[in-house]
Amino acid sequence: MVGNKALAVFASGRGSNLQAIMEAIANGKLDMELVLVLSDQPDARALDRARRAGVATEVLPFTGDAEGYGEKLLRYLAPYSVDVIALAGFMRIVPPNFLRDFPGDIVNIHPSLLPAFPGLDAQEQAVDYGVRVSGCTVHFVDEGVDTGPVILQASVPVYASDDEDTLSARILRWEHRLYPRALQLYAEDRLKRCGRKVKILDE
């Protein structure tokens, strides 16, 4: 390998997944270089976390025009030579032109066992539906909402006493393990996309 892959994280809020990714890098469990944290929210906690860790940040508030936003994202990203973008609580749909023209890969983490409960409030959807098991999914991003090829999943039990908050907390603990693990597979070039499926090499 010539060098570690360059990672950008897009986040809109708290940034606990970003934190888990930064810690995995610091602890030698994730061989990537975090070159940029980008947010659409100027006051996102994720930005503070990045700044504290000395990581470059960009703020790009949504303009209301998806295509223009996609073009701006491409322009902002260009100097960083990013190989892969990890969406971590980024509350925007990635514009189609960005998806088409960004030369690297884009991955996302979602707090359900996809294809169950895509979109917003996945944990609340799971509680309301009455499922006994839920979890989280890391997947490649495609043009749909949470529809891209699955990389890794982890399951957690759902108890009758759960509400959205207790289930979210249980899932989040797994998110923090799963995301760095999935990114490390990417870093090792072990993810091979075969149409709808992702093959993990040397598993």
Choice from 40, 58, 83, 175 touching ligand GRF (CB under 6 A): 175
15 contacts ligand GRF (rule: CB under 6 A)? yes
Between residue 78 and residue 137, which ones bind ligand GRF under the rule CB under 6 A?
A: 88-89, 109-111
Q: What does the DSSP assignment read for 32-53?
A: EEEEEEEES-TT-HHHHHHHHT
**Which of residues 142 and 188 has its CB atom nearest to ligand GRF in the complex?**
142
Task: Assign 3-class secondary structure to 103-168.
Answer: CCEEEEEECCCCCCCCCCCHHHHHHHHCCCEEEEEEEECCCCCCCCCEEEEEEEECCCCCCHHHHH
Six token digits for residue 156? 């957690």
Q: Pick the catalytic residue: 45, 72, 110, 139?
A: 110
**Other CB atoms within 10 A of residue 144 CB:** 9
Q: Does 14 bind ligand GRF (CB under 6 A)?
A: yes
Question: In the complex, which residue's CB is closest to ligand GRF?
Answer: 89
Per CB under 6 A, does 148 bind ligand GRF? no
For residue 113, give both structure tokens: 């066992």
Q: Given candidates 5, 8, 9, 17, which one binds ligand GRF under the rule CB under 6 A?
A: 17
Based on the residue annotation, tell me whether 176 is a catalytic residue of this protein. Answer: no
Which active-site residues does the annotation give? 110
Binding residues for ligand GRF (CB under 6 A): 11, 13-17, 88-89, 109-111, 172, 175
